Amino acid sequence: MPEPVLRIAAGKAGAPRDFAGALARDQVNVIAEIKKASPSAGVLRRDFEPAALARGFERAGAAALSVLTEEENFQGALAHLRDASAAVGLPVLRKDFIVDTWQVWEARAANADSFLLIVAALDDAALTALLNLGRELGMEPLVEVHTADELERVLAAGAHIVGVNNRNLHTLEVRVETSLELVEMIPQDCITVSESGLRSAEDLRKLRAAGFDAFLIGESLMREAEPGGALQRLIDGISQRSGDSGAGSSDRSR
């Protein structure tokens, strides 16, 4: 669809929900991811109903949702995002390989409230342009890094929500330690999200103590018979062990 048509459609969409605000709450903030498949694991769910999954995650206490819309590798679709967004009151992130402004307009037209930017796929000019457009539309992006060099570029561009992906893009190895190694470099005024390989309450407790504000969890939940119930148990497990819902201590620089 041409960008001018997408702009008109975006203007008719509902007002964006506050994705950044949802991740900054003083509690366990999980971005629950809705995806049918992944390149490394294949099909994760055959009984795939985005609206039902979204409602289950909302009941379980998710702070926000992430919906895969990329078709070739993840079997996603914009329809999945629209269905999930219409089913709940949570802010919804469009997760895709976004490299052009028309994709941002497309996301807004589908009622996305934020979108993912993968720094490894963007040069500095494109990163800045997409960040600025997202802000103009009330959609603060989640900007994803894998390395210290990428993080430096993101901070120079002025990103507000910084995600650390624990998956190595070249080997596909997942190391939660990647988040722990990079979080100290992220200023306190940024919202921090740890992504990939998060499976247990212990993982989240450790990352919260290091200063992470939110956690994107997808594959481990999608494999469960009842993803919403699995998320509820995870959140309850953290609260029971910590004795409160407040954020962990952080030594991140200001």
List, by residue number, the catalytic residues. Answer: 33, 35, 95, 144, 165, 195-196
Torsional class of 31: left (φ above 0), alpha (ψ -120 to 50), beta (otherwise):
beta
Distance (Å) of CA 115 to CA 74, 93, 235, 247: 16, 5, 24, 25
Distance CA 185, CA 189 (A): 12
Beta strands 64-68 and 42-43 are unpaired
Distance CA 226, CA 92 (A): 20
Distance (Å) of CA 159 to CA 125, 186, 190: 13, 10, 8
- Identify the CA nearest to 108 among candidates 23, 34, 27, 6: 6
Distance CA 91, CA 205 (A): 24
Given a contact cutoff of 8 angstroms between Cβ atoms, the answer to whether 93 and 115 are in contact is yes
Amino acid at 130: L
Residues for the chain: how many in total? 254
